[in-house]
Amino acid sequence: MRIYDFFYNNKFWLFRHALFWSFIYIDELLSFIGIVEPVPLDQFMVGFFLDAVMVYFNLYYLIPKFFNEKKISSYILFTGLSLIINIILVVGIFYHVDEYEELELVYDLIFALAFTSGLLGLAIAAKISKINFTKQKELRELEYVKHEAEVNNLKKQINPHFLFNVLNNMYVQSKESPTEVPETILKLSDLMRYQTYDASKNEVALSKEIEFINQYIDFEKMRREHLQVSIDSHGSMNNISIPPLLFLSFIENACKHSSGTTSNKDWIHIKWSKENDKLIFDCSNSIGSRSGFINDDEYSGFGLDNVKKRLELLFPNKHTLNIKEENDTFSVHLELLDI
């Protein structure tokens, strides 16, 4: 059991209250077992009853009705009144008790005020702390649900976008090399199997993601004889898990926009490297007949926008992404921390 479960979980409420009152009346409890000077039982019972009424009236009526509704002035007023009434009753009852006949009324009032104020203040502080903890927990849960919904929505958007690109490639292939279409369909089946089963998980092994990228590149090479692709990894990649399809949009863009170079030497370089707790992904490609891709809506549209949003949700303040175009080369550099 975690410590905050005891203080904030509702199933431990009875233990919390017992601990609270035991702490408040520690002297009286010790007197019953003879460690300190004994306290009359009737005095203890009456005092406990009055204090309990004041505390629980505040916790379960005044706080929900006024404090939680932001009616702070009314809450302070009624809290002050309940405190005064409690002090008057305590002093009025016990001032005539034999043990207290020689004490001054002012002393009784000061002592009662200090004790009762401390008791009530401690109870209110504990209650407000629990309210704030509960609200923060609810906000975290709502944020988590929202976060998961946004991530899943973005991940689901990848599938139709990916399929659209693949079908577009198959359409071109059916015109240029129709005999190769059946083999392409088989490769597409492998790709879709990964997207259907593995990509539905929250995390996949990096090795599986790299295998999927290799299959996608093989699919791309079937229709582009001039395409040169290198895929490398450096450092220990064992036991690394990542959100599925995290790199797909970068690969799709590289494949789509590396074609049409003037030298007919289309190329893509892909590399993963591991440095301590940092995973680094680099992808660079030749730039085809189009130019100014970084500011081009078609080039940096759906795919890159999607992956940027996913990175912000999945790795808040734990990633850096640099995209640039330089010397007929478009490059992506991504660093993921705490991997």
Task: Provide the 3-class DSSP secondary structure of residue 50.
Answer: helix
**228 phi/psi in degrees, rounded to 5:** -115, 125
pLDDT of 309: 84
Confirm whether 253 is domain-assigned.
yes
Torsion of CA 66, 67, 72, 77, to 10 degrees: 60
How distant is the alpha carbon of residue 68 from its chain centre? 26
pLDDT tens for 231-286 read 999 887 878 999 888 898 899 888 888 876 555 678 999 999 998 889 999 999 99
Of 139, 167, 185, the position where a domain reaches its end is 139
Residue 269 is predicted with a pLDDT of: 96
pLDDT the model gives residue 321: 96
By C-alpha distance, which of 244, 240, 220, 241 is closest to 231?
220
Beta strands in the chain (DSSP E): 204-205, 228-234, 241-242, 267-275, 278-286, 319-326, 329-336
**Are residues 190 and 324 part of one domain?**
yes
**Is the model's pTM score more than 0.75?**
no
**161 φ/ψ angles, rounded to the nearest 5 degrees:** -65, -45
In total, how many domains does the chain have? 2
One domain, residues 206 and 318 = yes
In residues, how long is the chain? 339
pLDDT attached to residue 147: 62
Task: Kindly report, residue by residue over 57-86, the tens digit of the pLDDT.
Answer: 999 999 999 998 889 999 999 999 999 998
Q: Encode burial over 272-309: b for 16+ CB neighbours within 10 A, e otherwise.
A: bebeeebbbbbbbbbbbeeeebeeeeebeeebbebbbe
Q: Which domain does 100 fall in, by range?
A: 3-139
200 and 120 within one domain: no
Task: Say if residue 104 is in the same domain as residue 36.
Answer: yes
Q: What's the pLDDT at 43?
A: 74
User: How far is it, in rounded angstroms, from Cα 158 to Cα 123?
Assistant: 53
Domain boundary pick from 121, 139, 157:
139
Q: Which residues of the chain have pLDDT under 70?
A: 1-8, 32-36, 38-39, 94-106, 108, 142, 144-162, 165, 223, 260-264, 289-303
231/133 same-domain check:
no
Whether 330 and 189 share a structural domain: yes
Domain boundary among 139, 168, 199: 139
Q: Give domain status of residue 158, yes or no.
A: no
Residue 159 inside a domain? The answer is no
d(CA 79, CA 67): 10
The answer as to whether 164 is a domain residue is: no
Asked if 58 and 191 sit in the same domain, the reply is no
Assigned domain for 68 exists: yes
pLDDT at 100: 47
Residue 161 falls inside a structural domain: no
Distances (CA, A) of 95 to 29, 43, 109: 22, 11, 10
Instruction: Answer whether residue 287 is part of any domain.
Output: yes
Same domain assignment for residues 206 and 330: yes
**Residues 94 and 208 grouped into a single domain:** no
What's the pLDDT score for residue 258? 81
User: What distance, in Å, lies between the first and last C-alpha atoms of the chain?
Assistant: 29
Q: Are residues 199 and 304 in the same domain?
A: yes
Q: Is residue 75 part of a domain?
A: yes
How much is the pLDDT for 292?
40
pLDDT at 122: 92
The Cα–Cα gap between 90 and 109 comes to 9
Question: Are 35 and 98 part of one and the same domain?
Answer: yes
Based on the domain organization, do 192 and 330 belong to the same domain? yes
User: Which residue's structure tokens are 């809290």?
Assistant: 79
SS3 assignment, position 285? strand
CATH number at 273 reads: 3.30.565.10
Amino acid (1-letter code) at residue 268 = I
- Residues 25, 31, 97, CA angle at the centre, nearest 5°? 80
